[in-house]
Structure 1
Amino acid sequence: MTDTERTHGHTHTERADACAPAASARSVAAHLAIVLGSVDPLPPVRVALDEARGLVLAEDVLTVTDTPPFDNSAMDGYAVILADLLEASAQNPITLPVVADLAAGTDQNPRLVPGQVARIMTGAPIPDGADAVVPIEDTDQGTEQVTILQAPKPAAHIRRAGEDAHAGDRVLHAGSVLWPTRVAAAASAGTSSVLVHPAPRVAVISTGSELVTPGSPTRRGQIPDSNSFLLSAAVAEAGGIPVRIGAVPDDDDVLRAVLTELAGQVDVIVLSGGVSVGAYDVVKAVLKPLGTVDFGPVKMQPGKPQGFGRWPATDSVPGPLIFALPGNPVSAYVSFEVFVRPALRRLLGQETLHRRTVTATVVDGWRSPPGRAQYMPVILTRRTIDADSTDGSADNIEARPASRGGSGSHLVAGLAQANGLAIVLEDTTHIRGGDLITVMLTS
């Protein structure tokens, strides 16, 4: 491993593969197409409703019963017969006997006859014979008898059975993400479990003998492993379940044993480091002979060296997807955002795979390498627009590089300040102040 690989050292440099001719490099779009072409949503499983938040439905949810299942009161007040109160007003109050007290959840159903009312709470069933509810604030709140100061409108404050949905109605479509309001809709429909695409389990491994657990004492040549924490957090944010393995040394046998053990336990393995041309590029040494993982340069900066494929199948069951990412932190993060995150979203059954983008105005320009798409970590801020200005072409957003060092793949402190990745096309080498640029939002 070179000194460059150990700088800020999150394992191995992202320098170009000197053994590969430039013509063999793929575009970002071509590599992403290979990745997504290898990924399908995980087979659906049935889970309890309280375990389904954030997952994607694999089938429609239909109501079991009418929602609500019975006529009920929308207010605390009194269930009444409208004809008794047509002349009621503050100047002409009408007093009637209270013959029942109906709380939410009661199964009582006293039939009202003319001249009777029932005190009723929100959500309680409307008793037979009643055809309106008078809010408690339009009365003297009596319990034995009540004086009513205003005539109600027909069917006032009554929620009708099936008003929200009828039995058999579809309340949620397959493909819907179960956010809290949708979980509530499924519960209201009488559903206790749902068929969903499960969250993928994703093992995260950093490679490099120089890596130690953060907080541990270090000797010369050792550095804290940050990539496994970075990528595990990114997996969780994308909706996956991270299984952080941490650092594995530059030892073929050790890495092979770790991967073999993980193969039957996870859906995806994400490695960082060991994918370039160094003497200790353990990831390539272990995975390339399998013949199921492809390594090669992608025309991007940072993140040129990439590996992607699967662990070999066992008993006709496909092995987990494998992403082999560069080791420097910015390279690993950019690679995750561009390739791994969309794949995890597809495994989840999500329809929206990619981050939202905005157009921003460049404040401080920079250079981009020719022939490679660049992903520059940037800080986005709202522009101050003159009141008379009609300029809305850039979403009123400004972008400036997050680090004075530009897009250097080791500049993790600058990465922490970034809230977007500016996307520079392959044929652009200069980005100048005032230029408009597309930015992928990352936070």
Structure 2
Amino acid sequence: MNGPTDQTRHQDRVWSVAEHLDDVLSKIDPLDPIELQLLDAQGCVLVEDITVPVALPPFDNSSMDGYAVRAADVADATESAPVALTVIGDVAAGSGELPGIGPGQAVRIMTGAPVPPGADAVVPVEWTDGGTGQGPAATMRAHSAAPQDAGGEVRVHRPAAAGAHIRARGSDVTEGEPALQAGTVLGPSQIGLLAAIGRGTVRVHPRPRVVVLSTGSELVQPGEALGPGQIHDSNSFQLTAAARDAGAIAYRVGAVADDAETLRSTLEDQLIRADILVTSGGVSVGAYDVVKETLAALSAEEGTVEFRRLAMQPGKPQGFGLIGPDRIPLLALPGNPVSSYVSFELFVRPAIRALMGLPEVHRPTTPARCTEAVASSPKGKRQFLRGSYDAEAGTVTPVGGAGSHLIKAMAHANALIIVPEDTTEVPAGAEVDVVLLG
């Protein structure tokens, strides 16, 4: 009798979680860099080192509303013996022509306005009479009035040292200084810095476009009434939201009926806008698991999709391959909601972040003390239980049972409790590793 073929042995193989993940990531490279407008680049990874073309701030400017003065002129100013200075003009933010200040003179200045030549300090308006000839109590009213006429007078009641209330040119960053390094993820502060140094566009790895669809003739759009044997489609919503949370631009196609030709045409239509495709359902051994049937036929023509059994719970059946002329990654996930979400976190999220060029693609993992016992974990499988993690206490509490349909428990979990393959039970108080979600 002939022995099993290599293909049969390969199909019978049980993959570990690490083996499947490594295989997925080995076939994914960061997306080619593109030039994007700043706001479109938010959340993307920078692919170039950025240096500062001009110093920040680009000129000495006032950090207060007040008066630009010579520090020597107000060195002896006191409440009882204020120093009177002649006001020779006003300088607002954006001013171009600046009056020069000589001995005994001052210029009314606004926050952010350039410091005029001759001045080496700014006296806050609260330290003056506001040019009213009255005491400090009138200063705020005076400062909101119309610009002061040249030749007026202001009384200064407190001294200001040289450099006081002046933001010096280059005090933030100097010309030629590194601003951001390649590999930086562009958040709001980084976008603000790029704008401040005059960059209107930037080269980045773009956010990947993820197309999500779920399969099953029993699935009904939320908001529609259920018929006999029907359930609402939650997977496509859950996975689309998860893809967006991972940093992707995600498109939800919705539910596709259990029809091979319909599924095939839908996948082919979506290839044009996808950097990665994610399906849920139809990957086990059921008679109507058309995802396997469809992708097997598609693989023969336009790529290879392999269906595997993984030593994990939930999420044993998985599919992965590259399809279409551009070899777009496709990850086929189980249909049970918890299996689907856990599989996304373990395999799809890292793939998305690898496409983005991020240096770290995995969720953080941390040890925690399990507050309740975990019994009957399957031997030989890595189990992922939903958990509620308390960072302050360093504990995690299982949420719900092990069933892969318990979507409510998933909604109340912020972590996945890892029970290793060789562990069949976890006593209360034992230390476990947890994957932190969100």
> Above 0.5 in TM-score?
yes
Q: Provide the residue aligned with 1:41 in structure 2.
A: 30
Q: Provide the residue aligned with 1:6 in structure 2.
A: none
Number of aligned residues? 407
**Does residue 312 of the first structure (1) align with residue 329 of the second (2)?**
no
Q: Provide the residue aligned with 1:52 in structure 2.
A: 41
**The residue matched to 1:284 in structure 2 has which SS?**
helix
**Do the aligned partners of 1:64 and 1:191 also contact (CA within 8 Å) in 2?**
no
**Do the aligned partners of 2:43 and 2:207 also contact (CA within 8 Å) in 1?**
no
**Does residue 296 of the first structure (1) align with residue 308 of the second (2)?**
yes
Greater shift, 256-265 or 81-90, is seen at 81-90
Alignment counterpart, residue 262 of structure 1, candidates 256, 260, 270 = 270
Q: Provide the residue aligned with 1:373 in structure 2.
A: 382
Cα distance, 1:296 vs structure 2: 0.8
Q: CA RMSD in A?
A: 1.6
Cα distance, 1:21 vs structure 2: 8.2
Percent sequence identity over matched residues?
48
Q: Provide the residue aligned with 2:208 in structure 1.
A: 200
Q: Provide the residue aligned with 1:402 in structure 2.
A: 399
1:291-345 residue CA offsets vs partner (Å, 9 max, x unmatched): 51111111111001111111132xxxx2321000000000000000000001111
* Equivalent-residue separation in structure 1 for 2:35 and 2:324 (angstroms): 28
1:43-100 residue CA offsets vs partner (Å, 9 max, x unmatched): 1111111222222111122223221111111111111112212222223310011111
Question: Match for 2:340: what amino acid?
Answer: A
**The residue matched to 1:263 in structure 2 has which SS?**
helix
Matches within 5 A, 1:322-333: 322-333=330-341
1:238-292 residue CA offsets vs partner (Å, 9 max, x unmatched): 1111110000011110011011111121111100011111111111111123151
Q: Provide the residue aligned with 2:415 in structure 1.
A: 420
**Does residue 339 of the first structure (1) align with residue 347 of the second (2)?**
yes
Q: Provide the residue aligned with 2:137 in structure 1.
A: none
* Equivalent-residue separation in structure 1 for 2:310 and 2:163 (angstroms): 67
Greater shift, 332-341 or 286-295, is seen at 286-295
Q: Provide the residue aligned with 1:10 in structure 2.
A: none
**Do the aligned partners of 1:95 and 1:146 also contact (CA within 8 Å) in 2?**
yes
Q: Provide the residue aligned with 1:137 in structure 2.
A: 126
**Do the aligned partners of 1:25 and 1:297 also contact (CA within 8 Å) in 2?**
yes
**Do the aligned partners of 2:29 and 2:355 also contact (CA within 8 Å) in 1?**
yes
* Equivalent-residue separation in structure 1 for 2:335 and 2:239 (angstroms): 11
**Does residue 360 of the first structure (1) align with residue 349 of the second (2)?**
no
Alignment counterpart, residue 261 of structure 2, candidates 253, 258, 264 = 253
Alignment counterpart, residue 281 of structure 1, candidates 280, 289, 292 = 289
**Do the aligned partners of 1:41 and 1:348 also contact (CA within 8 Å) in 2?**
yes
**Does residue 32 of the first structure (1) align with residue 32 of the second (2)?**
no
Matches within 5 A, 1:375-390: 375-381=384-390
Matches within 5 A, 1:152-301: 152-289=160-297, 290-291=299-300, 292-301=304-313
Q: Provide the residue aligned with 1:437 in structure 2.
A: 432
**Do the aligned partners of 1:263 and 1:319 also contact (CA within 8 Å) in 2?**
no
TM-score when scaled to structure 2?
0.90
**Does residue 411 of the first structure (1) align with residue 420 of the second (2)?**
no
**Do the aligned partners of 1:63 and 1:191 also contact (CA within 8 Å) in 2?**
no
* Equivalent-residue separation in structure 2 for 1:334 and 1:24 (angstroms): 21
**The residue matched to 1:216 in structure 2 has which SS?**
coil
* Equivalent-residue separation in structure 2 for 1:41 and 1:203 (angstroms): 17
Greater shift, 252-261 or 45-54, is seen at 45-54
Question: Match for 2:390: what amino acid?
Answer: T
Question: Match for 2:394: what amino acid?
Answer: I
Question: Match for 2:320: what amino acid?
Answer: F
**Do the aligned partners of 1:264 and 1:319 also contact (CA within 8 Å) in 2?**
no
1:160-189 residue CA offsets vs partner (Å, 9 max, x unmatched): 112212233221111111111111111111
* Equivalent-residue separation in structure 2 for 1:26 and 1:306 (angstroms): 10
* Equivalent-residue separation in structure 2 for 1:38 and 1:99 (angstroms): 70
**Do the aligned partners of 2:283 and 2:318 also contact (CA within 8 Å) in 1?**
yes
**The residue matched to 1:345 in structure 2 has which SS?**
helix
**The residue matched to 1:264 in structure 2 has which SS?**
helix
* Equivalent-residue separation in structure 2 for 1:54 and 1:265 (angstroms): 20
* Equivalent-residue separation in structure 2 for 1:127 and 1:363 (angstroms): 67
Alignment counterpart, residue 63 of structure 2, candidates 31, 52, 74 = 74
Greater shift, 67-76 or 55-64, is seen at 55-64
**Do the aligned partners of 1:27 and 1:300 also contact (CA within 8 Å) in 2?**
yes
* Equivalent-residue separation in structure 1 for 2:63 and 2:371 (angstroms): 55
Question: Match for 2:428: what amino acid?
Answer: G
* Equivalent-residue separation in structure 2 for 1:225 and 1:352 (angstroms): 32
Question: Match for 2:198: what amino acid?
Answer: G
Cα distance, 1:20 vs structure 2: 7.3
Q: Which has the higher contact order (CA 8 A, sep 6+)?
A: 1
**Does residue 90 of the first structure (1) align with residue 99 of the second (2)?**
no
Can you give the 5+ residue segments of structure 2 that lack an aligned partner in the other structure?
Answer: 1-7, 132-147
Question: Match for 1:430: what amino acid?
Answer: E
1:15-53 residue CA offsets vs partner (Å, 9 max, x unmatched): xxxx87897111111111111111111111111112222
**The residue matched to 1:221 in structure 2 has which SS?**
coil
* Equivalent-residue separation in structure 2 for 1:381 and 1:72 (angstroms): 48
* Equivalent-residue separation in structure 2 for 1:265 and 1:22 (angstroms): 31
Can you give the 5+ residue segments of structure 1 that lack an aligned partner in the other structure?
Answer: 1-18, 383-394
* Equivalent-residue separation in structure 2 for 1:121 and 1:334 (angstroms): 56
Question: Match for 1:346: what amino acid?
Answer: A
**Do the aligned partners of 1:288 and 1:295 also contact (CA within 8 Å) in 2?**
no
